Amino acid sequence: MTADKRVDFTVSAATALRGRLRVPGDKSISHRALMLGAIADGRTRIEGCLDSEDTRATMHALRLMGVGIERLEGNVISIEGVGLHGLTAPGEAINLGNSGTSLRLLTGLLAGQRFDSQLLGDESLMQRPMRRITEPLQQMGANIRISDAGTLPVHIIGKARLKGMTYTMPVASAQLKSAILLAGLYASGKTCIIEPAVTRDHSERMLAQFACVPTHDGGQICISPQSLRAQDISIPADISSAAFFMVAASIVAGSDLLLEDVGLNPTRRAVMDVLQLMGADITLEDEREISGEPLANVRVRHSRLKGIEIPVRLVPIAIDELPVLMVAAAYADGETRLRRAAELRVKESDRIRTMCEGLRAIGIDVEECRDGMHVRGGTVAGGTVNSFGDHRIAMSFSIAALAASAAITVTDCANVSTSFPEFAGCFRSLGLPIIITGARDV
């Protein structure tokens, strides 16, 4: 599936989800493993790296800066690391497509380089706010320019002398934290970060795998410049991708589904916590750890869900899964309330608005709030939903159709390939009814 073609999904009700499914590797971990492998000393091998348009954007950027990256058999990526100071000037502006993770993390990585660089993206990415990232980097001494509107293009002027600092993040954002940590590898002295709330800690865990262990001191996460050592990395299945099928198995009668090798990082598993608060039947099997990340097989059986007020403490660490959790809310008894989720408005789409419009289009009563929504569970009808080119909206409403009273057509789904190109294939492997129009070889 390619994001430059119009793609629509039409999904009908399913009888049950049964069997076993392994979704692709974790997107967040894949990005970080690629970037750290590129600036490590030696050869890094990454097993289970997500192959999506977003991760390809990161690999494209690294290749432009002189990093040798090869895809081997068995979904293994081999990276010839160039060392902390071995990146070279790209011969062109770096186009990152729709990948916000690539954009924000690379801005931090490039802030301390000796060469100039420019970051671009597709129409959606060009509109994403960047001051949250660029302002703290500028406080460290980075020479970065963005548009007057605070958006792309990002121009990074090389040879800046970065200085470590202690920075209190104004919002809970793992991408902001990661950008500062990466810049801290090139700063003089210690760089420390204070989070307003816990965010996903894949960067800290991955840095430790590459022999650069961040310290935790009095609630601060600190890093000092040091070389990285190449490693063999294994990446678990992405819990954000597995979440779609957790919700699907929860709402479709008769379901009993085992999701294999799902990453269960404590800063990512909030989607399971929320579903269990709603009454979902979820159990764990074969819990273990690989490359510093916990994982397990997750068994999900159909259950009757109930509306809840989603705990505010879980919102930052379930931010990517909130759209599909609102689908679960549509099938729950009673009202589900989501608040303190204004971050959803600055994703690939305004996800508060797009989710509310989509839920209304399939017969669900929903109230849009400034920083969330109130969803009143009911009968999900068929209809047509516009995903506005947002991959998580497209996949969420595809899941909603699996227990609806009639088929749902979700339009503008091409960008599903940015994070989960095997989404339709997973549907088919489980025998779920999906018709795709507008693309070949999906």
Catalytic positions:
320
- What residues have CB less than 8 Å from 75, skipping those under 6 apart? 25, 47, 48, 49, 51
Q: How many CB atoms are located within 10 Å of the residue 138 CB?
A: 15
Instruction: Give the rounded distance of the alpha carbon of 347 from its chain centre.
Output: 11
Residue 331's identity, in one-letter code, is Y
Q: Would the CA dihedral through 37, 38, 43, 49 be positive or negative? A: positive
Buried b (16+ CB within 10 A) or exposed e, 178-211: bbbbbbbbbbeebbbbebeeebbbbbbbbbebbe
In order of 31, 88, 119, 246, the CA distances from 43 in angstroms are: 17, 18, 27, 36
Helix (H) or strand (E) holding 56: helix 53-64
DSSP-assigned letter for residue 333:
B
Taking alpha carbons only, the member of 257, 282, 261 closest to residue 270 is: 282
